[in-house]
């Protein structure tokens, strides 16, 4: 409920000045065009699931793609409904019910996040190197944010890779965690953080040694980014805004993800809206950018979340059934 209130407040803050024009633009799309947006959202979920599936199936060949998709959607549901706090517990418990150890599940999920950030950085650096002059000429005032995003993203990736591969760094972090207060609230956090670190290091050693798996995961993440970076282009063309080419939309979307990665978010909202409007408004105008943002968020946020609600309800019912069976067996 809190996340919904926050989301509605953010929507009001972003769109309240020009909401009538935005509603007018968005309401003109046809059912078929709205279907295209939903297809883009479903494709995003499938590709996001594929990257996790590749990582886990190398260790557990019996895992089905449907199960990997459920893990991804449960993560979407938890990220939005619990402000990210319940993401790891819900996903790891689902994997535990599939016969995959909690440590393995947690470590793999964290490592998949590292691969995602690495893919975002690779994609953005390629785009910047190839099109730096166009960016400087068209949005010189935004270059400082882009450069800041590069530095912070590179630092985050470097630190995460050290945590994955260098035991000394993990030991230093464990010492810091152990020095935190020993009261009931902090004790639980310390146990969770310690377990997550150990699981991350253990799974990283196993997965990173498999170069074939690593290349497949990076390639899948790059394909996923190409797909999600295409959604703004589809959204703008559905609304009749054609001043930006497909290549230019890919460039700006890549910069958007670079900025999103360094901004704090609540329930998956905030940075995306700010970065989208900041990057696209100079080219197509605020009304056009805001209208396109609505369709973009339908595809990359609302569509996955609605799908995740159905998965969560089903898995919750399965859990209740398991508990009932265990009770009867006793």
Task: Kindly state the tokens that stand for 298.
Answer: 């339908």
Residue 246 CA to residue 263 CA, distance in Å, equals 26
Q: What one-character-per-residue DSSP string does 262-324 give?
A: TS--BTTBSHHHHHHHHHHHHHH-HHHHHHHHHHHHIIIIIHHHHHHHHHHHHHHHHHHHHHH
pLDDT, residue 3, reads 53
**Residue 305: predicted pLDDT:** 92
Query: Given this model, what pLDDT does residue 217 score?
Result: 92
Name the strand (E) or helix (H) holding 115. Answer: helix 102-138
Q: Which of 50, 7, 81 is nearest to 316 (CA)?
A: 81
**Chain mean pLDDT for the chain:** 83
Q: Please report the pLDDT score of residue 134 as a whole number.
A: 92
Q: Is the pLDDT of residue 70 over 70?
A: yes
Banded pLDDT at 216 (limits 50, 70, 90)? very high
Q: Which of 15-24, 136-145, 195-204, 207-216 has the lowest mean pLDDT?
A: 15-24
| Confidence label for 304 from pLDDT (cuts 50, 70 and 90) | very high
Q: How high is the pLDDT of residue 144?
A: 87
Residue 325: the pLDDT is 47
Q: Confirm if 200 and 108 have CB atoms less than 8 A apart.
A: no
Between the CA of residue 310 and those of 70, 267, 327, what are the distances in Å?
10, 18, 26
Higher-pLDDT residue of 15 and 167 is 167
Residue 260 has pLDDT above 60, yes or no: yes
Give the pLDDT mean for 61-84. Answer: 86
Per-residue pLDDT at 328: 42
pLDDT of res. 2: 53
* 3-class SS of residue 241: coil
Structural domain of residue 208, as residue ranges? Answer: 2-10+18-329
Is the model's pLDDT at 323 over the cut of 50? no
State pTM to two decimals: 0.85
Q: Band the pLDDT of 38: cuts 50, 70, 90.
A: very high
Number of domains in the chain: 1
Greater pLDDT, 297 or 10: 297
Given a cut of 50, whether residue 330 has pLDDT beyond it is: no
* Higher-scoring residue by pLDDT: 63, 19: 63
Contact 288, 241 (CB under 8 A): yes
pLDDT greater than 70 at residue 329: no
Can you tell me the mean pLDDT for 91-95?
82
């Amino acid at each position: 409920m809190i996340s919904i209130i926050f989301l509605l407040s953010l929507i009001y803050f972003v769109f309240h000045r020009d909401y009538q024009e935005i509603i007018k633009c968005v309401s003109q799309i046809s059912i078929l065009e709205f279907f295209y947006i939903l297809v883009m959202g479903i494709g995003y979920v499938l590709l996001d699931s594929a990257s996790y599936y590749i990582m886990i199936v190398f260790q557990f060949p019996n895992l089905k793609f449907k199960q990997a998709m459920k893990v991804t959607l449960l993560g979407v549901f938890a990220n939005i409904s619990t402000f990210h706090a319940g993401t790891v517990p819900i996903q790891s418990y689902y994997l535990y019910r599939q016969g995959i150890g909690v440590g393995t599940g947690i470590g793999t999920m964290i490592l998949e996040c590292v691969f995602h950030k690495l893919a975002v950085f690779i994609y953005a650096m390629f785009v910047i190197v190839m099109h730096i002059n166009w960016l400087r000429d068209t949005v010189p005032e935004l270059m400082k944010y882009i450069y800041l995003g590069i530095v912070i993203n590179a630092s985050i990736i470097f630190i995460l890779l050290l945590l994955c591969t260098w035991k000394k760094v993990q030991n230093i972090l464990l010492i810091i965690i152990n020095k935190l207060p020993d009261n009931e609230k902090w004790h639980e956090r310390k146990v969770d953080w310690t377990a997550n670190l150990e699981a991350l290091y253990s799974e990283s050693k196993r997965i990173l040694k498999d170069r074939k798996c690593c290349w497949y995961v990076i390639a899948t993440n790059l394909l996923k980014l190409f797909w999600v970076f295409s959604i703004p282009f589809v959204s703008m063309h559905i609304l009749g805004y054609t001043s930006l080419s497909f290549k230019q939309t890919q460039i700006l979307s890549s910069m958007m993800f670079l900025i999103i990665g360094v901004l704090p978010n609540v329930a998956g909202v905030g940075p995306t809206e700010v970065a989208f409007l900041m990057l696209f408004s100079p080219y197509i105008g605020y009304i056009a950018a805001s209208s396109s943002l609505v369709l973009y968020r339908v595809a990359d946020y609302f569509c996955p979340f609605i799908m995740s609600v159905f998965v969560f309800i089903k898995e919750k019912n399965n859990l209740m059934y398991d508990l009932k069976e265990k009770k009867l067996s006793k």
